[in-house]
Amino acid sequence: MNIDFNCINKILLIKPRGIGDIIHSTIVLENLREYFPAAEINYLTEEFAKRAVENNPFVKKVLTYRKKDFVLKAVKKIRKEKYDLIFDFWSNPKTAQMTFLSGAKYRVGFDHHGRKYAYNIKTKSNDPNLHAAENHLVLLEYLGIPIISKKTLFYLSDTEIKFAKGFIKQNVQSKSIIGILPSGGWESKRCEPEKWIEICKAINEKFKVKFLILWGPGDEDDTEKISLGLNEFAIKIPKTTVGELSGFINECDLVIANDSGPMHISAALGIPTLGIFGPTNPSAHRPYSENSDYVIKKDLHCIICNKLTCPYDHECMKELPVDEVIQKVGKLIGKTVS
């Protein structure tokens, strides 16, 4: 289908959830702004996830809906905006319906079975080993939009920055701060507290740092165990919103994280980030920045199983190679490991 790019005045990007997935989609923003300098760019997300693109200077408005809402409720919001071009980066049955009923002249999405009806411009997604962020660029490339940037983006508010800095100033007397993120959307993604304690003690022995335990809803038990195990070497941050948590991430010299939304926030903020992987594929889901890396126990027969819960003994986390973690931490913070 031929597109009259001169008639594109208003663009909607659909990416409902989760926080990390939405952040991955921000890789398109600088490219769209360069190609459509006068166009208004909006997002559609679920209500809980809108913080992933709030404060973003490339995004004019964030439309939201709740997961339990009927499709037509979201469609009504979309049609009211009169979009010229929609990118459905999610391309699931629900967002395909929204896109089809949107009233947009150009509807772009992935050619998935049972959903291709919704798009008048569609293509297949690439190699499953392609990073999830770069997969969004496939749709832009298909339209011939030049890729001038491959950065994911996350922006803090002044209030969030001030809140984190104030806590750090009062509670952390250390020049070197390593944040640890025990979060994980799946049980199998979460490294055990005992392993976190082992890793952090080994790091501290080499580098003499202070650990900042970065936690959110559902992390309370693991956070308490890690805090007790590390004692004076670690400080728990207070209860936070996603934005406030991100402010604390921004104060760290390095963040070590399970595969999670906050891990991707860390990378998007430009903080050196080390991802801990087991059930998910780091080629597609590693922290996406030049100053990041990951650790995975490659020699397990069940590695990258994509199972929500482990059917074995969670060896991918319990047997994670601590020496490799130490080496990569040293590289990321610019210190030699003897």
Please report which residue ranges of the chain form alpha helices under DSSP H: 19-25, 29-35, 71-81, 93-100, 132-135, 137-142, 158-171, 193-207, 220-230, 242-249, 261-268, 282-285, 315-318, 322-333
CA terminus-to-terminus distance, the chain: 59
* 106 has pLDDT over 70: yes
Where do the domains of the chain lie?
A: 5-142, 158-333
The string of pLDDT tens digits covering residues 270-288 is 999 999 999 999 999 999 9
Burial 118-140 (b: 16+ CB within 10 A, else e): bbbbbeeeeeeeebbbbbbbebb
Write down the CATH superfamily of domain 158-333.
Glycogen Phosphorylase B; (3.40.50.2000)
Class of domain 5-142: alpha beta
Instruction: Give the Cα-Cα-Cα angle 133, 284, 276 (nearest 5 degrees).
Output: 110
Neighbours of 338 (CB within 10 A): 5
pLDDT at 193: 97
Using 50, 70 and 90 to split pLDDT, how confident is the model at 338?
low
Q: What is the pLDDT of residues 44-97, one digit of tens each?
A: 999 999 999 999 999 999 999 999 999 999 999 999 999 999 999 999 999 999
List C-alpha distances in Å: 227 to 203, 224, 279. Answer: 15, 5, 25
Beta strands 254-258; 273-277: pairing state: parallel
* DSSP secondary structure of 35-97: HSTT-EEEEEEEGGGGGGTTT-TT-SEEEEE-TTS-HHHHHHHHHHH--SEEEESS--HHHHH
Tokens of 82: 């009169």
Looking at residue 38, its pLDDT comes to 96
- Indicate whether 197 pLDDT > 70: yes
pLDDT of residue 129: 83
Q: Compute the mean pLDDT over every residue in the chain, rounded to the nearest whole number.
A: 95
pLDDT tens for 215-269 read 999 999 999 999 999 999 999 999 999 999 999 999 999 999 999 999 999 999 9
- Give the model's confidence band at 335: pLDDT under 50 very low, under 70 low, under 90 confident, else very high: confident
pTM of whole model > 0.85? Answer: yes
Q: Measuring CA to CA, which residue among 136, 167, 130, 169 is closest to residue 151?
A: 136
At 54, the amino acid letter reads E
d(CA 298, CA 324): 12
Three-class SS state of 232:
helix
In this predicted model, what pLDDT tens digit does every residue of 146-161 receive, in sequence order?
999 999 999 999 999 9
Sign of the Cα pseudo-torsion (324, 330, 336, 337, in order): negative
pLDDT confidence tier of residue 142, bands split at 50, 70 and 90 = very high
